[in-house]
């Protein structure tokens, strides 16, 4: 059985359908990427896994059916989410934002905080700074760090490279590779196809709420449609 199984997933905002018969699996310790244009449904897909949308179909994580579970219960099962734009507590400092992330994994706070500061030393330097005054890249790092504080077995990352300078992206890339070595399973939703191809062993193209293509980076690089749309060749 796969670690995460998504089958015939449909999600709605009111009457508008945002996801249509989305199915894919992720093996334990695997890293997959969901790529696709603005409005394709990438964030909706991650929101659904963490229990924030009204969805139908099946999402099975580590043998547990997630339907109708609350986000809190889902985080507790071991899914960490670094949402787009972070949803940080802007009036709190960096360290308190990280500690909020730990509220369901209290027994490992010190260990996880140590690991976050080791992975992202900038956060340690800035731990007393109010989140509101962080730069875009620092916020992104804090969002990732906070997701890690929930002690996840599966990490959902929404656009981890959005708006970041190349040097920060390469820092995030190092963090991702290190996380992969620890056996964490990762799902990345990204518009940055090059980045996603580097880190994910399998990619899916999401368009207008449907998965229209899937394959290894090698397979997708050979797809004329992907090359034209995303690499302009
Ligand atoms: N809360 C909401 N209420 C109504 N419609 C929504 C809501 N959130 C998203 N949508 C719509 O659902 C569709 C999918 O949006 P989603 O944010 O999942 O796309 P995305 O692939 O993450 O896009 P982006 O790359 O711009 O982040 C879009 O048409 C969007 O307008
Ligand atoms: Mg999005």
Cβ 42 under 6 angstroms from ligand 1: yes
Task: Measure 220 CA to ligand 2 centroid, in angstroms.
Answer: 21
pLDDT at 232: 66
pLDDT in tens, 82-114: 988 777 888 899 999 999 888 777 788 999 999
From 12, 13, 20, 156, give the residue whose CB has the most ligand 1 atoms within 8 Å, as the site to mutate.
13
Under 8 Å between Cβ of 29 and 185 = yes
Cα distance from N-terminal residue to C-terminal residue, the chain: 39
From the list 66, 58, 61, 60, the residue with the least C-alpha distance to 21 is: 58
Ligand nearest to the CA of 83: 2
Number of residues in the chain: 233
pLDDT in tens, 13-37: 999 999 999 999 999 999 999 999 9
What pLDDT band is residue 233 in, cutting at 50, 70 and 90?
A: low
**Can you tell me the distance from the alpha carbon of 147 to that of 101, in angstroms, rounded to the nearest whole number?**
6
Nearest CA to ligand 1 atom 3: 13
Cβ 36 under 6 angstroms from ligand 1: yes
Cβ 19 under 6 angstroms from ligand 1: no
Cβ 160 under 6 angstroms from ligand 1: no
What pLDDT band is residue 208 in, cutting at 50, 70 and 90?
A: very high
Instruction: Say whether 228 sits in a helix, a strand or coil.
Output: helix
Cβ 38 under 6 angstroms from ligand 1: yes
Taking the CA of residue 191 as reference, the ligand 1 atom at the shortest distance is 25
pLDDT at 203: 96
Fold topology of 1-78+153-167+183-233: Rossmann fold (3.40.50)
Cβ 191 under 6 angstroms from ligand 1: yes
Burial 184-209 (b: 16+ CB within 10 A, else e): bbbbbbbbbbebbbebbebbbbbeeb
Domain with CATH 3.40.50.300 in the chain: 1-78+153-167+183-233
């Amino acid at each position: 059985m796969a670690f995460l199984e998504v089958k015939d997933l449909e999600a709605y905002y009111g009457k508008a359908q945002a996801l249509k018969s989305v199915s894919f699996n992720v093996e334990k310790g695997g890293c997959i990427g969901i790529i696709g244009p603005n409005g394709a449904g990438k964030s909706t897909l991650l929101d659904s896994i963490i229990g924030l949308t009204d969805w139908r179909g099946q999402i099975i994580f580590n043998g547990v059916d997630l339907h109708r579970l609350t986000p809190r219960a889902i985080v507790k099962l071991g899914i960490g989410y670094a949402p787009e734009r972070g949803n940080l507590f802007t009036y709190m400092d960096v360290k308190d934002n990280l500690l909020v992330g730990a509220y369901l994994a209290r027994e490992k706070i010190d260990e996880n905080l140590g690991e976050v500061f080791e992975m992202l030393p900038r956060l340690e330097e800035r731990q007393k700074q109010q989140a509101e005054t962080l730069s875009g890249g620092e916020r992104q790092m804090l969002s990732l760090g906070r997701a890690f504080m929930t002690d996840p077995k599966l990490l959902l990352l929404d656009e981890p490279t959005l708006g970041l300078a190349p040097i920060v992206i390469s820092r995030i890339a190092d963090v991702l590779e290190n996380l992969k070595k620890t056996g964490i399973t990762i799902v990345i939703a990204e518009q940055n196809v090059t980045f996603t191809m580097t880190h994910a062993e399998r990619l899916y193209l999401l368009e207008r709420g449907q998965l229209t293509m899937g394959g290894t980076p090698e397979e997708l690089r050979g797809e004329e449609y992907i090359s034209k749309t995303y690499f302009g060749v």
